[in-house]
Structure 1
Amino acid sequence: MKRLLGAAGLLGVLLATALAVPAGAHGSATDPPSRVFGCFNRWGSDFLNPVMATEDPMCWQAWRANPNAMWNWNALNRTGVAGNFRAAIPDGQLCSGGLTFNGRYAAMDKPGAWRAASKPRRFTLTVTDGVKHGADFLQVYITRQGYDVLTQPLRWSDLELVTTTGRQPGAPGIYTAQVDAGTRTGRHVVYTIWQASHKDESYYMCSDVILG
């Protein structure tokens, strides 16, 4: 059974988790959902259900590896990177933010059949921020045609930068980017970097999509 939160449900989650996550936590990509947010959104209220193993096997392995990753879905970040993202985040560790927080999010790096959102080649990407600190920018990358999400750990060379936004204010806690995937079709990873405005804190998000 598919478990998705509507706008009211998402607001409730943001409020309910605000006290359960580190003070620096903010949010994640919610459309298309990042891997960590998608696993929390679909299974947070039912994470022990063995049905997940067959319905959503990549989330199943993530919950088994470290449930704290999903409870802290809005905290996949690093501080002090100063824009040197490629130096701070090694190949194969892009979806975990370079194994940030002592590898809490390591399961996000595992190749496989992650649940993917169907998107047209042009779409709006949304990041939701419960603390509303603002965005200096969003950088949005998409994997090159031919990248195999099922078997290949994500590397910088697999990605192409498709857009960088300008600064966006904190209120109402929604940051967007207009994404043009060009001629890409099929399964891809959208990789988003959100640079928060209140301090040097950057967030890293892998969202799985099926384009075209």
Structure 2
Amino acid sequence: MPRTSFKIAVGAAATAVTAAGIPVVLASPALSHGYTTSPVSRSSNCATGKVKNCGAIQWEPQSVEGPKGFPARGPADGKICAAGDGRWAPLDDPRGGQWPATRVTGGQAYTFSWRLTAVHSTSSFRYFVTKDGWNPSAPLTRAQLDLTPFLQRDYGGKSPGSNPSHPGTMPAKQGRHLILAVWDVADTGNAFYSCADVDFG
């Protein structure tokens, strides 16, 4: 087949595939995606069907990506759990404080785990917890969080692997709280945000 005819045929095939709703995969760098599995994140609860009426996040629990630099920058207050992305807005809905909560013990050793569906060079993983007296029936804001991470793991640009885990200690808390995990990507302007409801008893 002459080169010109080949180019036309390839272009027509790509157009037909796109029109059929099948994505055309182009060679490009892999993008990072991920969410916490321990404690169980809101994204994970939606993906497994434990929580209903989550919208599109049930199919893309790994895609909660927004600007990095938290807490000085990043998602606006009230939109933190969805990383400021309107597609994932159900994650910001407190549901009257009724999200399923992982039972944990304050002051005890705990291993925080992620599932990454695409790995990227990493600056750090950081973990924040809500203050005593926070309002679980309201969307998360900076004022409700202790803005110093209770756990941080630095990677210096290295890859974390597909299932990173971070041994640490749970904060000394009681009752229901929210843990915000932030995965800071090293070579883009973004981070991944993962909110997990916990119950310290």
Q: 1:135 to 1:176 in 2, by over 3 A?
A: farther
- Corresponding position of 1:105: 88
- Corresponding position of 2:38: 31
* Aligned with 1:137 (options 124, 134, 152): 124
Can you list the C-alpha shifts for 1:164-188, whole angstroms capped at 9, x where unaligned?
2110743631223334333201111
* Aligned with 1:146 (options 118, 127, 133): 133
Question: After superposition, where does 1:19-168 map in structure 2 within 5 Å?
Answer: 24-41=31-48, 43=49, 59-62=51-54, 66=55, 68-78=56-66, 81=67, 83-98=69-84, 100=85, 103-111=86-94, 112-121=97-106, 122=108, 123-149=110-136, 151-160=137-146, 161-167=149-155
For residues 32 and 103 of structure 2, the distance between their equivalents in structure 1, rounded to whole angstroms, comes to 28
TM-score (norm 2): 0.73
For residues 83 and 174 of structure 1, the distance between their equivalents in structure 2, rounded to whole angstroms, comes to 23
Fraction of identical pairs, as percent: 23
For residues 138 and 172 of structure 1, the distance between their equivalents in structure 2, rounded to whole angstroms, comes to 13
Q: 1:27 to 1:188 in 2, by over 3 A?
A: same
For residues 98 and 31 of structure 2, the distance between their equivalents in structure 1, rounded to whole angstroms, comes to 31
Can you list the C-alpha shifts for 1:9-35, whole angstroms capped at 9, x where unaligned?
xxxxxxxxxx9xxx6352111111210
* Aligned with 2:192 (options 195, 199, 203): 203
User: Which range is displaced more, 168-177 or 202-211?
Assistant: 168-177
For residues 208 and 93 of structure 1, the distance between their equivalents in structure 2, rounded to whole angstroms, comes to 16
> Are the aligned partners of 1:142 and 1:181 in contact in 2 as well (CA < 8 Å)?
no
Can you list the C-alpha shifts for 1:130-163, whole angstroms capped at 9, x where unaligned?
22224310110001122231x1221111111212
Quote the offset at 1:40 in angstroms: 0.5
- Residues matched between the structures, number: 166
Structure 2 residue ranges without an equivalent (≥5): 1-24
Q: 1:33 to 1:107 in 2, by over 3 A?
A: same
Q: Residue 157 of structure 1: SS of its match in structure 2? A: helix
- Corresponding position of 1:170: 159
Whichever residue aligns with residue 211 of structure 1, its letter is F
Q: Residue 165 of structure 1: SS of its match in structure 2? A: strand
More helix by share: 1
TM-score (norm 1): 0.70
Structure 1 residue ranges without an equivalent (≥5): 1-18, 44-55
CA-based RMSD: 2.2
Whichever residue aligns with residue 47 of structure 2, its letter is F
For residues 156 and 179 of structure 1, the distance between their equivalents in structure 2, rounded to whole angstroms, comes to 23
> Are the aligned partners of 2:35 and 2:44 in contact in 1 as well (CA < 8 Å)?
yes
